[in-house]
Structure 1
């Protein structure tokens, strides 16, 4: 129960941060990606804030006896670049540039603009289902 409450609070905080930062507005995201046009630096500040928070977290985590809300840290163990990873990152970037949304802001946008965000979320879920179906559930 404690993990569920922590996850809920974290999700609400994440969604609120995305909404306050304007990341649920596809036009703002596309404006950031339009470096030769009417460039909007807002996303750079949002990403910069996230990088600062994570840099601090990565420095603090090794000094902690353990995490506050679970039994152990769950840190990434893989560091290899595979064609699947590179292809997925490229596909993600193309989709992000076209739609102006990625999964987190897309789900948060369901609260603000349900109709247009729902189209994105349904397409995202369909893409995830296609990958699961074609590669099996081990991915």
Structure 2
């Protein structure tokens, strides 16, 4: 199974008052990071591992487990929204390498990393999941 790369690229990642898209910088995200005194964070979810739709109750339980595993790193709760769908996400403070481990643990293809003054970027969690011609996985 391969990830729906296009779906990641057209998704809007949101927390209250902030919307982020891959490849774009967000002044609102920069302000949120500054308010919390952090330079880097990432959108991570436990919903629908490997893009397989799971029942809502299961997704909510897994998201609770992710929240527990994040151990105080949660800056905000939000959503990833695409055409006709939405998944809960957590915006977690920290080094993208550590956040990637959480994404991998919850069987996610990728996470979305944000850093002050930089465009949001997609970082692969599962091996060979985001291979594109001319690009190396995160």
TM-score (norm 1): 0.30
More helix by share: 1
TM-score (norm 2): 0.30
